[in-house]
Chain A
């Protein structure tokens, strides 16, 4: 694709990589937290709910700064991660994954939690009387029934990760070829004279990717809900 410069291409590839990783990493945690919020009762449930939703209400720059002071190389968690796992987050693409995951997490939890709440607990009871333990009830009844909601949540999280800007640029900066994601690249091109053409090309790619994700999720969700509704 020669109409896209190497820098631009790198930005698109990085954003896709970050969004896919963020979505995959988020899914199991989002499932667990949604299930806990929808079905369990435990002390501190409201607190958990508030913490999960915090990134939705905080300015993204604030979230990015909070990430920097806790996951930076000299910050306590960041230093520990580097010593123990050799994992560096600040100013690396891995940090973009963390930022995108955290920003997308509340959206995923909201969608999945709604789906879990829509599952009739009587069906889960019936499964238990047939011999299914809590794990098997979840795996064989709850999970298949929430599949449409799960897909919707994953697509929302993916879209959020593709578009994340504020927290990402604060946490990992905007180094072309290294930590420059698609939105950061658009922002950079708009800062220099004559960069409008490149910015427009990236905008077109953004729109196309968003539409593709939406359509794919619509098809998958419709297929899943046909299965679930049992006709």
Chain B
């Protein structure tokens, strides 16, 4: 099930002109505030009518300006999870969860209430009123409510933005389950690089109303041209990895296509595939294989591109096995080391984080 969006809409000073294809899985609409993310997701939901363009989910046309097609929001069957939960205050949690099912087709193909409540950990809340729930609980109920309306796709507009860090950590595993268990395509709006790195299969980067980059997460995150959009401190490559060994000293060994990485204890079984994120500012480059260094993770790589930024730094893209790494170093170091495209070197990695916890296998 793929979503294709090609719309144009003017909102005050912002001209939103966006076209992209979202294949299955989670597609993240990433961008700073004011980049047009919410305009796009509301146009898909039908809450906003674009001035021109076309929106289609597989073969079902939701909006087509030239053919004057504009399916009403309640006929689109897209589950929308808003940033501010928007639970109905006059209904119980159960009433909220079952709200959409009375309008859904009665063919019993949707998930069962018990399974959804169980998956989201809200079974004990069913008789409560939304007013007494915490922010994280409200958002889980909102996700369940959207799921139980038997949607063809889920739309999520910054579902974690209003929550503090620990509440985010509470919800993220449920979103990962959603992706891995239900198989519903999800359009996920976010301005958080960490969330996108952890959840998204495809990333659409929006910048001032236009698509700056679109592609698989690994590819977009290892593009040196995206460093500005992602932010200097947040930029960094995302690599697929496999857990190979749990060592007795508490380290876990992971295999990436360019070698092995050692990470502090990763709670995944041996053989599990995951995704690691290596920030560009955590990578040091060396022409010789470094010796006498405390860093455990040293990968051999070849420079594919050096891109100068506005300041004293440059962004270096490296080929490392099948994958790419990004390193952010000073222009002075790059000159001193004689770095250029095609030069081999070693990437010393100061820290690696696991960016994805697959429940099944990807």
Contact = CB atoms under 8 A, between A and B. Distances in A.
A120 B145 CA distance: 19
B143 to A, nearest CB: 13
B80 A127 contact: no
A140 B89 CA distance: 12
A129 B80 contact: yes
A144 B145 CA distance: 19
Interface string B166-191: 00000000000000000000000000
B100 A122 contact: no
Point out which of A130, A140, A227 has the most chain B C-beta atoms below 10 A from its C-beta.
A130
Interface string B87-124: 11111000000011011100000000000000000000
Given A129-B80, A131-B104, A144-B90, A231 B145 contact: no
Contacts of A120: 86
Given A128-B73, A131-B103, A123 B131 contact: no
B74 A230 contact: no
B315 interface: no
A131 B149 contact: yes
Contacts of B100: 130-131
Contacts of B103: 130-133, 136
B92 to A, nearest CB: 9
Contact of A230 (B76, B77, B78, B89): B89
Given A125-B47, A230-B131, A231-B129, A130 B149 contact: yes
B47 A230 contact: no
Contacts of B90: 144-145, 227-228, 230
Interface residues of A, number: 23
A214 interface: no
A230 B129 contact: yes
Point out which of A129, A141, A227, A231 has the most chain B C-beta atoms below 10 A from its C-beta.
A129
Given A229-B131, A230-B129, A130 B84 contact: no
A126 interface: yes
B26 to A, nearest CB: 19
A104 B104 CA distance: 41
A131 B149 CA distance: 7
Given A127-B99, A129-B74, A136-B103, A122 B82 contact: yes
B77 A229 contact: no
Nearest to A133: B74
Contacts of A127: 88, 99
Interface of A: 120, 122-123, 125-133, 136-137, 140-141, 144-145, 227-231
10 contacts: A122-B82, A122-B86, A123-B86, A125-B47, A128-B72, A129-B46, A131-B74, A131-B102, A133-B72, A141-B88
